[in-house]
Amino acid sequence: MFSLTEEQIAFIENDIKVRGVTSPDLNIDLLDHICCLIEYNLDDCRNFETVYQETLLLFGEKGLKEIQEETNRLLTFKHYNIMNSTMKISGYISSLMILTGAFFKFNHWPGAGFLMVTGVFFITVLFLPLLFILKFKSSPEGNRSVVLSSVAFVAASMLSVGVLFKIMHWPGAQMLVIISGVLLVLGYLPIYFLSIYKNTTDKINATATIILIIAGVGLLITETGSGIPRPTSDSFWRGVTENNDLLNFIEKENSNRYLLLDKKTKSDSSESGNIQELKTATEDLMNYTKKMKVYLISKVVNISEAEAAKLTIDALRTEGDGGVLNELLLGDASASAEFTAEKLKNKIDTYKQVLVKIAPNANLANLNTSTLKVYGEEVSWKKSNFEYLPIPLVIFNIIRIELGIKTTETALLNQL
């Protein structure tokens, strides 16, 4: 077996450095390994230069520099395997939870919200950050794929949270989906086109990726902003309008009933006192609900209360923003506010006490303020009527409460 001269070894050592190997330890290891390979393959038919070039080919297309880069990644990223396994496991578990939660929600089973929230939480907080870190570490320095990964991470995080907000009917869903869509179309796709599409030989797959991203973003934004289908909206709004008309009709009938009772009970002061007490209590509660509707409309539509009082019900059809209403009625801002869900509930409960005092056997079923069981879950009266609902639904529920007040008043007037 031939032996290398000191000049040849020095040449190899210097050439290893020129080819991008900067680590002293790695340089020594490679030098020893290359020298052994050359000495093993040297013979009388081939010279040193030929065998050396053949030996370098054994290290792949990128040669020794790739070994240095991989060594740097391993040295600076010692927990790669653990993070890679965690990323995969969290991805599988979160995807399974989201799929199971969607199935539960479709069948109206309890626990759907918990499964979906937890699944998206793991996707956003664990899976996507780990995927981004691993992608970042595996990307060559200065490569556009680092920026590509960053944009994709932010867009994917916002998109997953936005879809969750949409499913759970939380405010801000449409804004999150739109922003993530803009990032994907105006941020991700241009970088993807410059860094991957132009340099890849598989144009079909690259083109399909671009088309699917654009189409997917368009469908998500359309679905998020579509809201209730028009036939369903028309049917619902007809119910709102008819309930409001019915409320006005009952108010007029009750007013006429009071006039008749006043004539009949002029000689009976005790009965007249009950009627007056019922009338006063009902008027006080109805005035509160009417002012409450005007107040909420003015806040959501951003107009004065005087303008809100003149606004027709049909003008609210396209209004939304359940987040503002939720803060006004149930949030921290409701503590010192005049019109809140808690204060309305207290006034209804006080009104019921007045009715029981007037007529102990009064039927108060239309004024129920207890918890409601929805798909096996206990939901409070306040949440079922006001939590994260747009202004049309809130007004509809207040009108429904007013109908309960007036129909109960009618029932008591018939007993007196």
Which helix (H) or strand (E) element contains residue 58?
none
Do residues 157 and 106 make contact, with C-beta atoms less than 8 angstroms apart? Answer: no
Among the residue ranges 10-14, 355-359, 361-365, the one predicted with the least confidence is 10-14
pLDDT at res. 167? 64
Name the most confidently modeled range: 128-142, 182-196, 318-332, 378-392.
378-392
Select the more confidently predicted residue: 309 or 322.
309
* pTM of the predicted structure, to 2 decimals: 0.52
CA-closest candidate to residue 183, choices 208, 205, 204, 160:
160
Q: DSSP assignment, residue 373?
A: E
Quote the CA–CA distance of 416 and 411 in Å, as a whole number.
Answer: 9
CB atoms within 10 A of CB 232: 10
Do residues 34 and 53 make contact, with C-beta atoms less than 8 angstroms apart? Answer: no
Quote the CA–CA distance of 146 and 152 in Å, as a whole number.
Answer: 10
Quote the CA–CA distance of 344 and 339 in Å, as a whole number.
Answer: 7
Q: The tokens of 129 are what?
A: 């950050």
pLDDT one-digit tens code per residue, 26-35 = 778 777 877 7
Quote the CA–CA distance of 411 and 128 in Å, as a whole number.
Answer: 60
- Mean of pLDDT values over 204-224: 62
Quote the CA–CA distance of 161 and 123 in Å, as a whole number.
Answer: 9
Quote the CA–CA distance of 73 and 138 in Å, as a whole number.
Answer: 8
pLDDT one-digit tens code per residue, 175-208 = 787 888 788 778 777 777 766 655 555 566 666 6
- Mean of pLDDT values over 52-59: 74
Mean pLDDT of the chain: 77
pLDDT at res. 351? 94
Give the burial class of 304: count Cβ atoms within 10 A of its Cβ; 0-12 exposed, 13-18 middle, 19 or more buried.
exposed
Select the more confidently predicted residue: 241 or 202.
241
pLDDT at res. 404? 93
Q: Is residue 260's pLDDT more than 60? A: yes
Do residues 189 and 197 make contact, with C-beta atoms less than 8 angstroms apart? Answer: no
pLDDT band at 229 (very low <50, low <70, confident <90, very high): low
Among the residue ranges 287-296, 330-339, 365-374, the one predicted with the least confidence is 330-339
Start-to-end CA distance of the chain, whole Å, equals 122
pLDDT at res. 39? 75
Q: Which residues pair with 379 in a beta bridge?
A: 372
Do residues 41 and 54 make contact, with C-beta atoms less than 8 angstroms apart? Answer: yes
Q: Is residue 292's pLDDT more than 80? A: yes
- Assign 86 to helix, strand or coil: helix
pLDDT band at 17 (very low <50, low <70, confident <90, very high): confident
pLDDT at res. 226? 47
pLDDT band at 231 (very low <50, low <70, confident <90, very high): low
- Assign 230 to helix, strand or coil: helix
pLDDT band at 142 (very low <50, low <70, confident <90, very high): very low
- Assign 46 to helix, strand or coil: strand
Long-range contacts formed by 173-179: CB under 8 A, 24+ apart: 173/224, 174/221, 174/224, 174/225, 177/220, 177/221, 177/224, 178/221, 178/224
Name the most confidently modeled range: 7-21, 218-232, 251-265.
251-265
Q: Is residue 342's pLDDT more than 80? A: yes
- Assign 160 to helix, strand or coil: helix
Among the residue ranges 41-50, 88-97, 181-190, 246-255, the one predicted with the least confidence is 41-50
Quote the CA–CA distance of 184 and 200 in Å, as a whole number.
Answer: 20
CA angle 217, 221, 226 (to 5 degrees): 150
CB atoms within 10 A of CB 8: 17
Instruction: Please report, as a single letter, which amino acid is at residue 317.
Output: R
Q: Write out the DSSP string of 174-191.
A: HHHHHHHHHIIIIIIHHH
Quote the CA–CA distance of 137 and 150 in Å, as a whole number.
Answer: 12
Residue 375 gets the label, from left (phi > 0), alpha (psi -120 to 50) or beta, of: left
Quote the CA–CA distance of 149 and 192 in Å, as a whole number.
Answer: 10
